[in-house]
Amino acid sequence: MKYLIWANFKMNKSTKELKEYLEVFKSKYACFLHIDLMIAPVTSGLWIASELLEWSCINLWSQNMYFEESWAYTWEISPSMLNELNCTYVIIWHSERRQYFNETNEFINKKVKAAISHRIRPILCIWESLEQKNKWLTKEVLKIQLIEGLWWVEDVSKVDIAYEPVWAIGTWETATPEYIEEIHDYIRELVWNDESRIIYGWSVKPDNSKQLISIKNVNWFLVWSASLDPESFLKIAEVE
């Protein structure tokens, strides 16, 4: 199984900044064969990133996608439009999509299936809130998200999973290595094939990535803040 590491820029970087970033990153990244490395720019940067990353070992990732092919869906982008941009992965259901844009399990399930049918590999994000964690509902919540997100997906090995302990945002709490191991083990029990990666996504930084990759069933990371600087993202990608 190849490790998976994803830089999600969220709504950051102008086209000029993105171009500068990719030029620096491409010139320094050693292209490890055991790692799938992805960069997910904002939608306005997909075209330039697609041109700059062509023939490189860095994959282009979209931060979102709609499940229909075309019609009156203002601001949306379809799977075949992502195919045109050589976008091979898509993030589905990042916690912010659910919190701020009210995406439901049923809605994201349509996206997962549409991505697979267009040969785009979805990364399905799952997570629990602080309230759910405090009520000891974490495992139940994650299980429901997986069941509903992957409903009628014939081949689950075509999907990767990202676990985000979002309850740690703005609190003094952090997920301990023991907690991360317990949750990743549990997800692995539910998603038991050998091809789906289970990646971890919260506060991954150059100084904690070594410890995090030593945790069983952490098949690497999704990174936001520490990915915005190419040197810091390189340190995480080259941690071994």
Which spans of this chain sit near ligand PGA (rule: CB under 6 A)? 8, 164, 201-204, 222-226
Q: Give the shortest CB-228-to-ligand PGA separation in angstroms.
A: 9
Dihedral over alpha carbons 197, 187, 99, 74 (to 10 degrees): 40
Q: Indicate the residue among 86 and 203 with the shorter CB distance to ligand PGA.
A: 203
In whole angstroms, what is the distance from residue 139 CA to residue 132 CA?
9
Least Cβ distance, residue 74 to ligand PGA (angstroms): 26
Single out the residue of 239, 234, 232, 233 nearest to residue 215, CA to CA: 239
- Which residue in this structure is represented by tokens 């509903």? 148
In the complex with ligand PGA, which residue's Cβ is closer, 153 or 168? Answer: 168
Give me the phi and psi of 8, to 5 degrees please.
-105, 110
Query: Is 238 a catalytic site residue?
Result: no
- Least Å from the CB of residue 152 to ligand PGA: 27
CB burial of 98-136 (b: ≥16 within 10 Å; e: otherwise) equals: beeeebebebbbebbbbbbebebbbbbbbbbbeebbeee
Choice between 76 and 229, CB closer to ligand PGA: 229
Nearer to ligand PGA, 4 or 118 (CB): 4
- C-beta atoms surrounding 202 within 10 Å: 22
The whole-angstrom separation of Cα 175 and Cα 239 is 20
Comparing CB distances to ligand PGA, the nearer of 92 and 204 is: 204
For 56-129, where are the alpha helices, taking DSSP H only?
79-84, 95-101, 105-117
Q: Please, what is the minimum distance in Å from the beta carbon of residue 171 to ligand PGA? A: 13
Among 68, 94, 106, 195, the active-site one is 94
Instruction: Report how far residue 39's alpha carbon sits from residue 211's, in angstroms, rounded to the nearest whole number.
Output: 23
Which residue among the candidates 118, 128, 164, 184 is catalytic per the annotation?
Answer: 164
Buried b / exposed e over 22-41, threshold 16 CB at 10 Å, is beebbeebeeeeebbbbbbb
CB of 72 to ligand PGA, least distance (A): 31
What is the spatial distance between Cα 91 and Cα 125, in angstroms, rounded to a whole number?
A: 8
Would you call 189 a catalytic residue per the annotation? Answer: no
Q: Which residues are annotated as catalytic? A: 94, 164
